C-alpha cells in the first residue's frame, strides 16, 4: 500500500499490550442489569433461565476463543482467564476485551429465545462492559478466582435469606434489610432453617457456587498428579520456545475438547489438582 500524507495519524495509536508472562483476566459485567432483570421479571433472588443463558453465552466464548483457559460466572458477570503464555492479538488489551465482550453479547442475544421462549427481547438490548487485569503469579490468579466465588457465596446467602423473609415471611424489603443488618453467615443459616425449614446446604449448587466453564479432558486421580508448578521463569520460557507446530497442535487439541459447565468449589486445591491442564501450559 502506498504511503499517503494522511498515514501519520497512525502515530496517535497507543500501545496497550498486557504485561507478558502474566495471567490475564477479562471480566465482563451486564450494564444496568438491576433494571434489565426487573424488565424481564427475573425470579428473585436467582433466575435459573438467566443464569443458564449467561453460561451458554460464556461457553460459546470458550468455543470460539481456544486461548481462554477457564471462565467463572456469577450473577451478571463472567471472568475469562487467558493463560500467561497466551499471545492472542499480541496481548493487546483493547482487542482482547472488545472481542470477548462482543462475542459474549452476540451469543447472549442470539440465545435469548432458547432460554426465554415466551418473552421476546426488546430495546434497549442488553450490553456488557469489560476490563482486563493481569495477575503476575498463580497464587494471585487463584486468589482472584476465590474472591469471585466467595463473593458469590456471601451474596447468595444474603439474597436467599432476604427474599425468604419477604416471599415466605411476608416482610417488606425495609424490614428484611433491617432484620439482616449486622448478621453473620451462621445467623442467616439458622434463620433460614428455624423460620423457613430451608437447609442452605441443600440449595442448588449453581446458586451457591456460581459456574465454571472449561475444557474437559481426563480427570487426574487425587494424589497422583504433578502439581502445576508456579511456572517457568522468563529465562526458562525463552530457553524452550514452543515451536509453531506445537502451538498449532495445542490449539487444535483445545478446539476439539468438550467445553463443560460445572458448579464446583474452585477455592480449594482439589479442583485444580485434578485438572492440571488448566494451569500448565499444555492445552
Ligand atoms: P452496572 O453493572 O453498574 O451497570 O449495574 P447493575 O445494575 O448491572 O449492577 P450489578 O452488576 O452490580 O448487579 C447485578 C444486578 O443484576 C443485581 O441488581 C441483580 C441482577 N441480577 C443478576 N442475576 C439475577 C437473577 O438471577 N435474578 C434477579 N432477580 N436479578 C439478577
Ligand atoms: Mg458493574
Ligand atoms: Mg452489572
Ligand atoms: Mg454485576
Angstrom distance (rounded) from CA 96 to CA 99: 5
CB atoms within 10 A of CB 45: 18
CA of 44 to the centre of ligand 1 (A): 11
What's the pLDDT score for residue 240?
A: 52
> Residues 265, 270, 271, 277: what is their CA dihedral angle, to the nearest 10 degrees?
160
Structural domain includes residue 263? yes
Residue closest via CA to ligand 1's atom 17 equals 34
Contact 160, 43 (CB under 8 A): no
Structural domain includes residue 211? yes
Nearest to 81 by CA among 150, 6, 22: 22
Overall number of domains in the chain: 1
Structural domain includes residue 163? no
The domain in which residue 75 lies consists of 17-149+204-278
CA of 147 to the centre of ligand 4 (A): 14
Grid coordinates representing 39 are 424488565
Q: What is the CATH number of the domain that holds 263?
A: 3.30.70.3000
Structural domain includes residue 179? no
What's the pLDDT score for residue 131?
A: 98
User: Which mutation among 34, 108, 207 tests ligand 1's pocket best, with the greatest number of atoms within 8 A of CB?
Assistant: 34
- Dihedral over Cα of 83, 71, 91, 249: its sign: positive
Structural domain includes residue 223? yes
CB atoms within 10 A of CB 40: 15
Structural domain includes residue 12? no
Is the CB of residue 50 below 6 angstroms from any atom belonging to ligand 1?
yes
What's the pLDDT score for residue 246?
A: 77
What's the pLDDT score for residue 236?
A: 42
DSSP H helices, 20-137, are: 33-39, 48-64, 93-115
CB atoms within 10 A of CB 12: 6
Structural domain includes residue 169? no
Contact 120, 81 (CB under 8 A): no
- For residue 119, give the 3-state DSSP assignment: coil
User: Which mutation among 37, 73, 116 tests ligand 1's pocket best, with the greatest number of atoms within 8 A of CB?
Assistant: 37
Cα-trace Rg, the chain:
22
What's the pLDDT score for residue 1?
A: 59
CA of 257 to the centre of ligand 2 (A): 32
- For residue 85, give the 3-state DSSP assignment: coil
Tens of each residue's pLDDT in the chain, 283 residues: 578 999 999 999 999 999 999 999 999 999 999 999 999 999 999 999 999 999 999 999 999 999 999 999 999 999 999 999 999 999 999 999 999 999 999 999 999 999 999 999 999 999 999 999 999 999 999 999 999 999 999 999 999 999 999 999 999 999 999 999 999 999 999 999 999 999 999 999 999 999 999 999 877 777 664 444 444 443 344 445 567 787 788 778 888 889 999 999 999 999 999 999 999 865 5
What's the pLDDT score for residue 232?
A: 40
Is the CB of residue 128 below 6 angstroms from any atom belonging to ligand 1?
no
* Ligand positioned closest to the Cα atom of 30: 3
What's the pLDDT score for residue 220?
A: 75
Structural domain includes residue 182? no
User: Which mutation among 30, 203, 208 tests ligand 1's pocket best, with the greatest number of atoms within 8 A of CB?
Assistant: 30
Angstrom distance (rounded) from CA 33 to CA 77: 10
Is the CB of residue 231 below 6 angstroms from any atom belonging to ligand 1?
no
Q: State in Å, rounded, how far the first CA of the chain is from the last one.
A: 38
Helix (H) or strand (E) holding 165: helix 138-167
Amino acid at each position: 500500500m502506498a504511503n499517503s500524507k494522511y498515514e501519520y495519524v497512525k502515530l496517535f495509536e497507543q500501545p496497550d499490550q498486557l504485561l507478558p508472562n502474566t495471567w490475564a483476566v477479562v471480566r465482563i459485567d451486564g450494564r444496568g442489569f438491576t433494571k434489565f432483570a426487573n424488565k424481564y421479571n427475573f425470579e428473585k433472588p436467582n433466575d435459573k433461565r438467566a443464569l443458564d443463558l449467561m453460561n451458554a453465552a460464556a461457553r460459546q466464548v470458550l468455543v470460539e476463543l481456544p486461548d481462554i483457559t477457564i471462565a467463572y460466572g456469577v450473577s451478571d458477570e463472567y471472568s475469562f482467564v487467558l493463560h500467561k503464555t497466551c499471545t492472542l492479538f499480541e496481548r493487546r488489551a483493547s482487542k482482547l476485551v472488545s472481542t470477548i465482550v462482543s462475542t459474549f453479547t452476540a451469543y447472549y442475544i442470539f440465545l435469548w429465545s432458547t432460554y426465554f421462549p415466551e418473552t421476546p427481547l426488546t430495546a434497549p438490548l442488553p450490553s456488557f462492559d469489560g476490563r482486563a487485569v493481569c495477575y503476575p503469579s498463580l497464587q494471585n490468579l487463584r486468589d482472584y478466582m476465590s474472591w469471585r466465588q466467595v463473593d458469590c457465596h456471601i451474596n447468595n446467602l444474603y439474597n436467599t435469606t432476604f427474599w425468604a423473609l419477604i416471599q415466605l415471611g411476608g416482610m417488606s424489603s425495609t424490614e428484611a434489610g433491617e432484620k439482616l443488618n449486622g448478621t453473620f453467615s451462621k445467623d442467616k443459616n439458622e434463620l433460614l432453617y428455624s423460620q423457613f425449614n430451608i437447609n442452605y446446604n441443600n440449595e442448588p449448587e449453581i446458586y451457591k457456587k456460581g459456574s465454571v466453564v472449561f475444557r474437559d479432558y481426563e480427570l487426574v486421580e487425587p494424589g497422583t498428579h504433578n502439581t502445576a508448578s508456579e511456572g517457568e521463569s522468563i529465562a526458562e520460557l525463552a530457553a524452550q520456545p514452543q515451536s509453531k507446530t506445537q502451538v498449532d497442535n495445542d490449539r487444535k487439541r483445545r478446539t476439539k475438547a468438550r467445553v463443560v459447565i460445572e458448579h464446583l468449589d474452585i477455592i480449594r486445591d482439589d479442583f485444580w489438582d485434578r485438572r492440571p491442564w488448566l494451569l500448565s501450559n499444555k492445552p
